[in-house]
Amino acid sequence: MAQYEAVIGLEVHVELKTNTKIFCHSSTEFGADPNHHVCPVCLGLPGVLPVVNKKVVEYAIKAGLALNCQIASFSKFDRKNYYYPDLPKNYQISQYDLPIAEHGHLEINVNGTDKRIGITRVHMEEDAGKLVHQGTISTTPYSLVDYNRTGVPLIEIVSEPDMTSADEAVAYLEKLKAIIQYTGVSDCKMQEGSLRCDANISVRPVGQTELGTKAELKNMNSFKALHKAISYEIERQMEVLEDGEKVVQETRTWDEARGVTLSMRSKEEAHDYRYFPDPDLAPLVIAREWVDEIKASLPELPDERRKRLVSAYGLPEYDAAVLTTTRELADYYEQCVELFNNPKLVSNWIMGDLARMMNASGQEIGDVRISPAQLAKMLQLLDKGTISGKIAKTVFEEMFNTGKDPGQVVEEKGLVQISDAGLIDKVVEEVIAANPKSVEDYRAGKEKAIGFLVGQVMKSTKGKANPGMVNKLLKEKLDK
Full DSSP string of 127-140: ---EEEESS-TTT-
Grade residue 403 by pLDDT with cuts at 50, 70 and 90.
very high
| pLDDT tens figures, 445-466 | 888 888 899 889 888 888 888 8
| pLDDT tens figures, 151-184 | 999 999 999 999 999 999 999 999 999 999 999 9
| pLDDT tens figures, 11-20 | 999 999 999 9
Residues forming beta bridges with residue 9, ordered by sequence position: 200
Does the pLDDT at position 272 exceed 90?
Answer: no
Rounded mean pLDDT, 98-111:
96
Grade residue 134 by pLDDT with cuts at 50, 70 and 90.
confident
Comparing 273 with 121, the larger pLDDT belongs to: 121
| pLDDT tens figures, 352-385 | 999 999 999 989 999 999 999 999 999 999 998 8
Comparing 364 with 286, the larger pLDDT belongs to: 286
List of domains in the chain: 4-289 (no CATH), 300-413 (no CATH), 421-479 (1.10.10.410)
Alpha carbon distance 105, 128 (integer Å): 27
| pLDDT tens figures, 297-320 | 999 999 999 999 999 999 999 999
Does the pLDDT at position 236 exceed 80?
Answer: yes
Does the pLDDT at position 252 exceed 70?
Answer: yes
Alpha carbon distance 23, 37 (integer Å): 13
Alpha carbon distance 417, 424 (integer Å): 11
Grade residue 214 by pLDDT with cuts at 50, 70 and 90.
very high
DSSP symbols for 97-127? SS-SEEEEEEEEEETTEEEEEEEEEEEEEE-
Lowest-confidence region among 270-274, 442-446, 460-464: 270-274
Alpha carbon distance 252, 219 (integer Å): 10
| pLDDT tens figures, 26-79 | 999 998 999 999 999 999 999 999 999 999 999 999 999 999 999 999 999 999
Burial 310-345 (b: 16+ CB within 10 A, else e): eeebebeeebbbbbbbbbebbebbbebbebbebbee
Residue 271: the pLDDT is 57
Residue 2: the pLDDT is 52
Does the pLDDT at position 1 exceed 80?
Answer: no
Q: Determine contact, residues 78/277, Cβ cutoff 8 Å.
A: yes
Q: Determine contact, residues 91/82, Cβ cutoff 8 Å.
A: yes
Q: Determine contact, residues 184/18, Cβ cutoff 8 Å.
A: no
Does the pLDDT at position 268 exceed 70?
Answer: no
Q: Determine contact, residues 87/128, Cβ cutoff 8 Å.
A: yes
Rounded mean pLDDT, 439-443:
88
- Give the closest residue to 323 by CA, choosing from 291, 357, 293, 365: 365
Residue 267: the pLDDT is 57
Grade residue 191 by pLDDT with cuts at 50, 70 and 90.
confident
Does the pLDDT at position 270 exceed 80?
Answer: no
Predicted TM-score of the model (pTM): 0.84
What does DSSP say about strands 195-205 and 4-15: parallel, antiparallel, or unpaired? antiparallel
Average pLDDT, the chain: 92
Does the pLDDT at position 470 exceed 90?
Answer: no
